Each structure stands twice: as C-alpha cells, then as structure tokens.
Chains A and B, each alone.
Chain A
Amino acid sequence: DAGVTQSPTHLIKTRGQHVTLRCSPISGHKSVSWYQQVLGQGPQFIFQYYEKEERGRGNFPDRFSARQFPNYSSELNVNALLLGDSALYLCASSLQVLAGGGETQYFGPGTRLLVL
C-alpha cells in the first residue's frame, strides 16, 4: 500500500511569494495534519483536518491556511513568505480525528521549502 505522499519534494521561493504544498493520505485515512520542522527542532503542529473541516490549529499566523478535499487530500498554503518559513513541511494522516483516541499519525516524506 502507498504511504502518505507529498509534493513537491523541494521548493525554492523568495520572500513575499506564496506557496502551495500538497498531500495525499494513506488510502482510507480521513484525517490529515500538517507540521513544520525547522532544522534542528522537532515538528510543530500547524493544522488538523478531518472530513474537510479544520479540527485543530497550532500557534501559526494567519498567513498559513489549509484545506481538505472530498478525496481527503489536502493543501497547505503559506502567503507572504518570510525567511523563517524555511523548513521541512510534513503531512501526516490517520484513520480518524485524533481527539480522545489513540490514533497513530503516519508521516509523509515532507516538502523542503527554502525561502531566499
């Protein structure tokens, strides 16, 4: 079975630009979460979506937005890019929404974004 897939694998942007990252969950998984991993740090939670609705949001500015499509794939959008947005962006999928359950999140390989 295919795991979580993300595209593109690498991306270079300049400050002020906009970026869209894409994620396809494991087949049958209905929940997608996004994390930002800055070099030398652990991943930081950005969003969780379940059944196309936002179920959780981390401490990120409004420049970050996301959505989930009827096929459960997801996009992460970042506007007005800053140098500090340079990071590995990880998508994770799980069968159901996470609150109250011991669901495991399975991660994709990530998109490495470099902002110049």
Chain B
Amino acid sequence: AQSVAQPEDQVNVAEGNPLTVKCTYSVSGNPYLFWYVQYPNRGLQFLLKYITGDNLVKGSYGFEAEFNKSQTSFHLKKPSALVSDSALYFCAVRAFSGYALNFGKGTSLLVTP
C-alpha cells in the first residue's frame, strides 16, 4: 500500500520569509512524488514532481522540493513567500506500478503581509 502524511494542518509564514510544507511517504519500490496546490473553489494545479535523478526538484511559481530517500520525505519549499501563495497544498505519491495518485490530507498555507 502507498500513503502520504502531511503532519501539519496549517502553516503560517510572514511574507518574504522562507516557507516549508512537510510531506512523508510510504510506498513499495521507487516512488513518484507530486505537489499540487488548490485555491478556493478551484481544482488542483500541478506544481512539481519527482521521478528520478536530482533530489532537488524545481517547479512552478518559484517552488521547489527536496526528495530524501532515507527519511522518506518530499518537503515543499520556497525561499520567499508571497501573500498570493496562500492556498491548500497537497502532496501525492504513486507507486511505480500503480495507476492512482494517493494524496495527503492537505496543508493550509497562510502567508501574512
């Protein structure tokens, strides 16, 4: 079975400060890992993914994520947060042989001016 844990329901950060949204995963074999963002009353927008290769993945809107196999983590980061980054962030994992994305419960990010 594959699963994702997002340990924080909410992350608060001041505009201009770095942000981190945490994600740990459990999967048999090599994982495919994804981050999506959801704004109110909208669908999910793809941010970035890890398939293989470089452990630091760069994505849309200045976001990046670091894959750590030993800690089974895939934390989302951004060097300088914007108020417009406030949204719901989902981490997802898919096993190599799987069809479905397994999502975490989501982390609400609030960036204050």
Residues of A within 8 A of B (CB): 4, 33, 35, 40-45, 48, 55-56, 58, 90, 92, 97-100, 102, 104-110
Against A, the Cβ 8 Å flags (1 = close, 0 = not) of B44-57 are 11100101100000
B43 and A42 form a contact (CB under 8 A): no
Nearest A residue to B50, CB-CB = A102
A102 CA / B94 CA spacing, docked (Å): 9
B contacts with A, residue count (CB < 8 A)? 26
A56 and B104 form a contact (CB under 8 A): no
B100 and A48 form a contact (CB under 8 A): yes
B49 and A107 form a contact (CB under 8 A): no
When distances are taken between beta carbons in the complex, the residues of chain A under 8 Å from B90 are 42-43
B42 partner, pick from A98, A100, A109, beta carbons under 8 A? A109
Most A Cβ at <10 Å: residue of B90, B92, B100: B100
A107 and B94 form a contact (CB under 8 A): no
9 A-B pairs closest in CB distance: A56-B99, A42-B103, A45-B100, A102-B51, A107-B44, A107-B43, A109-B43, A48-B99, A110-B43
